[in-house]
Amino acid sequence: MDFEKLVKSIQEFEGVSRKSSIDNVISLLGDAYNVSGDVVIDIGDDASAIDIGNNQVILVAADGIWGKIMNVNPYWAGYCSVLVNVNDIAAMGGKPLAMVNIMSISNDEIYEELLKGIKDGCLKFGVPMVGGHLHPDGDCDSLGVAIVGIAQKDKLITSFSAEVGDKIIVAIDLDGKSHEMFSLNWDTTYDKDKQLVQDQISAVQYLAEKDYIKSGKDISNPGIIGTLEMLLETSKKGAIVNLEEIPKNDSVEWENWLKSYPGSGFVFTADEKNCNYIKEYLSKYSIVANVVGEITSGSSLYLKYDDKKIEVFNQENNPIFLFK
């Protein structure tokens, strides 16, 4: 393996670089983010959390689907619009409740396939699509979906809670396949029984409510290392990760694997004493979890392989996004 080439590929990956514009959005929103005073975590997590009293928060998240997917496979775009939103709520330790969508359609064939995918996603994950807004004469085809969930306020999994000395856990369902049209989409849900898929979501909720997980994110477009870097930037911490400890399906090369978006995949941090339980519990639901490294002080994420250690990201020099 050319380790230096692998690191460079992660640094230049489009799933990483396309996050850089988030800084500008945050600065322009300013105080609008918490004008009610009820938002309990800062901007930059998988979902926002709004205090509704009685130690409960409503979780709110939204995702848009890449145009690349819309244009090539609208059915899969619809299905994934459900998957990505459900995972955002799961990553916070919450229970998904319902979704709404905004669709802009210029092609009736895309419209029909998109809705079929959304419907099948709702049936698979057990989360209803309760409404939305349609632009039937749009200039382009686009889809955005928003979701609400619920969680215990004092049991939230956030990106802001990693502490020096925490063990880093990568947890992925390895029983899947690369989508035939999208090589970086590691599909672990479509061919599985819906009960197992839904149990994977509730398993993370259980670990959150039992205080086994300290911080976390679902693995999204930036891939495994990029997702961990986003967590580090919100927590203002560094990390050292051992490449060969990352759970991987043997059919996929390292470069594609580290860039992949898994149907069920998370990055967590936890106290060392809880790691074995987390691994054993998730294994019941077809999720392989492993300790891959440790949270450190400083601002660098290092990746180790054999006797080499290379800095992948530095929050001063090449952050994905750095919340100031």
Q: Which strands make up the sheet holding 56-64, listed edge to edge?
A: 48-53, 56-64, 142-152, 95-104, 129-135
Mean pLDDT across 255-282: 98
The yes-or-no verdict on residue 324 having pLDDT over 50 is no
Q: Are β-strands 238-242 and 215-218 bridged in parallel, bridged antiparallel, or unpaired?
A: unpaired
The yes-or-no verdict on residue 304 having pLDDT over 90 is yes
Angle between helices 3-11 and 223-235 (to 10 degrees): 60
Non-local (6+) Cβ contacts of 180 within 8 A are none
The yes-or-no verdict on residue 233 having pLDDT over 80 is yes
The yes-or-no verdict on residue 54 having pLDDT over 90 is yes
Residue ranges of domains in the chain: 3-16+157-314, 37-152
Q: How confident is the model at residue 140 (pLDDT cuts 50, 70, 90)?
A: confident
Q: For the domain bounded by 37-152, which CATH number is listed?
A: 3.30.1330.10
Quote the pTM value: 0.94
Residue 80 CB neighbour total at 10 angstroms: 28
Q: How confident is the model at residue 98 (pLDDT cuts 50, 70, 90)?
A: very high
Q: How confident is the model at residue 308 (pLDDT cuts 50, 70, 90)?
A: very high
Question: How far apart are the C-alpha atoms of 280 and 297, rounded to whole Å?
Answer: 29
Residue 155 CB neighbour total at 10 angstroms: 18
Q: For the domain bounded by 3-16+157-314, which CATH number is listed?
A: 3.90.650.10
Higher pLDDT, 142 or 4: 4
| Bridge partner residues of 133 (DSSP) | 102
Question: How far apart are the C-alpha atoms of 90 and 183, rounded to whole Å?
Answer: 24
Non-local (6+) Cβ contacts of 276 within 8 A are none
Question: How far apart are the C-alpha atoms of 107 and 70, rounded to whole Å?
Answer: 11
Predicted local distance difference test score (pLDDT) of residue 105: 83
